Structure 1
Amino acid sequence: MPEHALVIGEALVDVVRRPDGTHTAHAGGSPANVAFGLARLGRSVELLTTLGDDAYGTLVRAHVESSGAIVAATIAAPRTSVATATLDGHGVATYDFDLEWALPDDSTTIPDPVVVHTGSIAAVLEPGASAVERLVEAAKERATITYDPNVRPTLMGDRGKAETTIERLVALADVVKVSDEDLEWLFPTEDPTDAAQRWLALGPALVVVTLGSDGALAVCAGGMVSVPRVVVEVADTVGAGDSFMSGLIDGLWSAELLGGHRRDALRAIDLPQVTQILQRCARIAGITVSRSGANPPTRTELGES
């Protein structure tokens, strides 16, 4: 079996409401978007998630599988979750959620993925969050662990409790991607670079911070690098961070830095290599925001096949 990725987390329907009053429904959810983006880039990927046995569940499954990803869904929810994204005049989204998240204790997946990714709602919302952490801990010996907190303040509850949960997962992860907005909510008085350095000291080999219009930065054992954003006409920002995350995993995969047996090599990643990967991530995110919804590019669109 070729190397493959496992993504654990929520899949839902994004209802996008625009300033002119129109709205559309797209399959979404941060982990589902990451799985979709990885498959678009030609990677073998499985999504472990929860769906309702309803029309929205059918929509989500069909969308994710259209990319080539495998959906290992646990049909347990009374309905498929919905996130309503309301866009402002600049295309920036704010979210409201109607969701449930759970995974059974006997959740099984394709064995021995080279990378396991999780984050967002699935990693903090019980009862599913405990199962996510259990699966990540079980996979860590053989797989690279990647994590994106993708903070949703309306669902996180107490900031202190959310910080404890998130930093426990940061310590388990090899690679963390976080936005400056996430860090601002978690640590209002701390500079994003300082927060990234502090998280690096918890255990990851690489911490990446996306900075919106200011691009992105990364810290690792070799130091810090930053890259500018790719300037495009923005349709909306839905899925931008998730496509960046897919690109980050894919870039490390192409560099042969994923897998438990490559953990030392990942820790020794050099700054030119990090820069090259981040520049490509910025291109991927730029294409995504230039069109409506979470619609990341294929490898062909990137001119790589």
Structure 2
Amino acid sequence: MTSSAPPVLVIGEALTDILCGPDGSRSARPGGSPANVALGLARLGHPVRLATRVGQDGNGAALRRHLLDSGVELTHGSVVPGASPTATAVLDEHGSATYTFDLHWDIPPSTLALVRDGAPGHLHTGSIATALEPGARHVEAAVRAARDATTISYDPNLRPSLLGDAAEERPRVEAFVASSDVVKASEEDLAWLYPERKPEEVAARWASSGPSLVVLTRGADSTGAFWRVGRCEVPVPKVRVVDTVGAGDAFMAGLISGLLSAGMLGSLPAGAEPSPRTRLRAATGAQALDAAVAAALARASLAAALTCGRPGADPPTLAELTDRQTAVPPVG
């Protein structure tokens, strides 16, 4: 599917997931949270550029093929000499994963120019890219530069093994939250970041700090959506779980996709009203969410469920979503 819209810009890590099953099996698959979101958006028909850092080794070649085959364009400077980063995911008997990482993170020097010289169709970032130096400070600068030109989404997708104390990490996370229009976080993220508070309380507070929409995922349980004046529960489709790798990223891609389709995310041309940001604010300005926002949440939940039904981070295409739920709106 083609689109005349400016490409979405995703900033963040692409890496190789080494999956270790409970039976001792090992397999390697392309991954990385922001890269998975970029892949999911491309499969849903959106033009996407990924600013990342991959090596010129075999893993890097596989990553590039994986992304390019689905329509993700890597920005200039994303391929560097040396080895590509890896994440070893140990799966338990329920398909849930715990991770250890081997990577260096920074962003291509041209990324800031991409943001300043031409507004992306939307900017998404999160996970290791927003937490690990030296790249994290450059991602923060890109978000600040993009704020007046386009909408922003953020998924903290925290990796405690790479981080310091939760109290040290909170200010950085909260700064990204306040700069964003849409935020997704898992129950595990918020339990680690705020161990003495209920995740629902944190999500509601975040929704009053800047974002129009904050979404709290709880695995197989219902998903909570929070906005300035209300909240609701979103049912999670039932599926036979193979593993949960990439499910949260598929949810994020589905949510961005649905809101882009509804004209509630995107670049902010001067003088054009109502802007996508204004539309999203209006759609989340009442006790009940606008139907288009509810449809975007349904698209996100279905994308995550389908990803859980197959191994690794393998988000669905728009055709697969449409086959399962004909009410999902088409990409505009």
Common fold: TM-score over 0.5: yes
Tell me which of 241, 259, 263 is aligned to 2:277: 263
| Counterpart Cα distance in 2 of 1:77 and 1:207 | 38
User: Which string of whole-angstrom CA distances, capped at 9 and with x for unpartnered residues, describes residues 65-91 of structure 1?
Assistant: 111110125234632100000000011
SS at match of 2:157: coil
The structure with more strand, counted as a fraction of residues? 1
Aligned residue runs from structure 1 range 26-37, under 5 A:
26-37=29-40
Contact 2:247 2:304 in 1 (8 A): yes
| Counterpart Cα distance in 2 of 1:215 and 1:57 | 36
SS at match of 2:51: strand
Question: Match for residue 194 of structure 1?
Answer: 201
Question: Match for residue 297 of structure 1?
Answer: 316
Contact 1:6 1:46 in 2 (8 A): yes
Question: Match for residue 160 of structure 2?
Answer: 153
Counterpart check, 1:53 vs 2:60: no
Counterpart check, 1:283 vs 2:302: yes
- Amino acid of the structure 1 residue aligned with 2:124: H
| Counterpart Cα distance in 2 of 1:262 and 1:41 | 19
Counterpart check, 1:171 vs 2:165: no
SS at match of 2:283: coil
SS at match of 1:52: coil
Aligned-pair CA distance for 1:114: 2.0
| Counterpart Cα distance in 2 of 1:265 and 1:223 | 17
Share of identical aligned residues, percent?
Answer: 48
Counterpart check, 1:109 vs 2:114: yes
**What TM-score results when the alignment is normalised by the length of structure 2?**
0.88
| Counterpart Cα distance in 2 of 1:4 and 1:76 | 23
| Counterpart Cα distance in 1 of 2:320 and 2:166 | 40
Aligned residue runs from structure 1 range 121-160, under 5 A:
121-160=128-167
Ranges in structure 2 where 5+ consecutive residues have no aligned partner: 269-274
User: Which string of whole-angstrom CA distances, capped at 9 and with x for unpartnered residues, describes residues 104-144 of structure 1?
Assistant: 54434383112100000000100000111111111111111
Aligned-pair CA distance for 1:288: 0.3
More deviation, 161-170/260-269? 260-269
SS at match of 2:307: helix
SS at match of 1:53: coil
| Counterpart Cα distance in 1 of 2:278 and 2:213 | 12
Question: Match for residue 10 of structure 2?
Answer: 7
- Amino acid of the structure 2 residue aligned with 1:232: V
Question: Match for residue 96 of structure 1?
Answer: 100
User: Which string of whole-angstrom CA distances, capped at 9 and with x for unpartnered residues, describes residues 186-243 of structure 1?
Assistant: 0112111110111112211110110112121111134111112111100000000000
Count how many residue pairs are aligned between Structure 1 and Structure 2: 305
Contact 2:17 2:89 in 1 (8 A): yes
- Amino acid of the structure 1 residue aligned with 2:94: H
Aligned-pair CA distance for 1:275: 2.5
| Counterpart Cα distance in 2 of 1:9 and 1:159 | 21
| Counterpart Cα distance in 2 of 1:272 and 1:212 | 24
- Amino acid of the structure 1 residue aligned with 2:140: E
| Counterpart Cα distance in 2 of 1:118 and 1:105 | 16
**What TM-score results when the alignment is normalised by the length of structure 1?**
0.96
Question: Match for residue 214 of structure 1?
Answer: 221
SS at match of 2:320: coil
More deviation, 114-123/77-86? 77-86
